[in-house]
């Protein structure tokens, strides 16, 4: 992942290097923040069918939308439109990675010990499955509660406020109804954004696989939680 996801990964990469690990970063040649670093990691890039200007415009538009104060209906429509445009960029990048025979052959022959990724887009996990190596997730969260579903952690909308709902942790009946409506709307949004990855993974891995099943294969989940801004979450014992 690029953007702020990549920036938060860098301290972890620095520590891994200090601990003696050899790191190889795989990234599209058109990106926002990922640059070569001779001291910490080896950078492997692959071509993608979009320009730096197009990428920057998508990131800026999506970021601006997070701070708009709009009605639920308008926010839903605009979020859907932005997600479709932004996810098309990520999906295109993933397709061009998986079909880059030279790079995929290099990763196979390198016999890596593990894959470190942010599963906001599940392309990294598809690669980990293909290489048959453990994967370590480093994430703030995945939209629509996919992280809860993949880890089998209960997150009932009657009690757990949905992201961006602005609901408190003790909701009134009306707030619970709003939370449920937002929860249902997420299925529509996530189906449009994430269902292509299930098809891509099934095609590439040559077996039927759902997105939840794919994400559940991660070996370690490192959640970047802030208990000042986040609600308490249940865990599966």
Could you tell me which residue, 119 or 60, shows the higher pLDDT?
Answer: 119
What local confidence, expressed as pLDDT, does residue 45 receive?
96
Model confidence at 189: pLDDT above 80:
no
CATH at residue 93: 3.40.50
Is 188 part of a structural domain of the chain?
yes
Residue with tokens 């601006």: 64
Asked whether the beta carbons of 199 and 98 are under 8 A apart, the reply is no
Report residue 156's pLDDT band, with 50, 70 and 90 as the boundaries: confident
Is 234 part of a structural domain of the chain?
no
Is 230 part of a structural domain of the chain?
no
pLDDT in tens, 19-63: 999 999 999 999 989 999 889 999 999 999 998 888 888 777 777
What local confidence, expressed as pLDDT, does residue 234 receive?
54
Spell out the residues 6+ positions from residue 167 whose beta carbon is closer than 8 angstroms to its own. 161, 175, 178, 179
Winning range, highest mean pLDDT, from 139-143, 188-192, 224-228: 139-143
Q: Which domain holds residue 121?
A: 3-223
Is 61 part of a structural domain of the chain?
yes
Could you tell me which residue, 75 or 57, shows the higher pLDDT?
Answer: 57
Strand partners, 43: 25
Share of the chain above pLDDT 90, in %: 51
Q: How many domains does the chain have?
A: 1
Dihedral of CA 148/234/162/139: which sign?
negative
Label residues 40-58 b or e (16+ Cβ within 10 Å = b). ebebbbbebeeeeeebeeb
Could you tell me which residue, 151 or 188, shows the higher pLDDT?
Answer: 151
Is 236 part of a structural domain of the chain?
no
Model confidence at 82: pLDDT above 50:
yes
Backbone φ and ψ of 212, nearest 5° = -60, -45
What local confidence, expressed as pLDDT, does residue 237 receive?
40
Is 231 part of a structural domain of the chain?
no
Whole-angstrom distance, CA of residue 186 vs CA of residue 143:
8
């Amino acid at each position: 992942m690029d953007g702020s996801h990549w920036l938060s990964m860098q301290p972890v990469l620095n520590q891994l290097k200090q601990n003696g690990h050899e790191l190889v970063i795989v990234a599209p040649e058109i990106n926002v923040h990922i640059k070569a670093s001779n001291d910490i990691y080896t950078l492997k890039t692959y071509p993608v069918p979009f320009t730096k200007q197009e990428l920057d415009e998508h990131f800026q538009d999506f970021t601006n939308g997070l701070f708009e104060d709009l009605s639920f209906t308008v926010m839903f429509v605009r979020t859907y439109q932005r997600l479709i445009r932004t996810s098309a960029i990520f999906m295109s990048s993933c397709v061009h990675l998986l079909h880059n025979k030279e790079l995929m052959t290099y990763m196979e022959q390198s016999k890596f010990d593990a894959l470190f990724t942010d599963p906001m887009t599940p392309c990294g996990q598809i690669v980990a499955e293909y290489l048959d190596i453990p994967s370590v997730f480093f994430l703030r969260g995945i939209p629509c509660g996919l992280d809860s579903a993949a880890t089998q952690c209960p997150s009932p909308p009657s009690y757990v406020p949905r992201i961006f709902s602005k609901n408190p942790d003790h909701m009134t009946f009306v707030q619970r109804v709003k939370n449920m409506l937002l929860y249902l709307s997420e299925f529509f949004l996530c189906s449009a954004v994430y269902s292509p990855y299930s098809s891509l993974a099934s095609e590439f891995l040559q077996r039927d696989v759902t997105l939840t099943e794919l994400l559940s294969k991660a070996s370690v989940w490192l959640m970047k939680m802030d208990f000042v801004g986040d609600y308490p979450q249940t865990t599966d014992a």
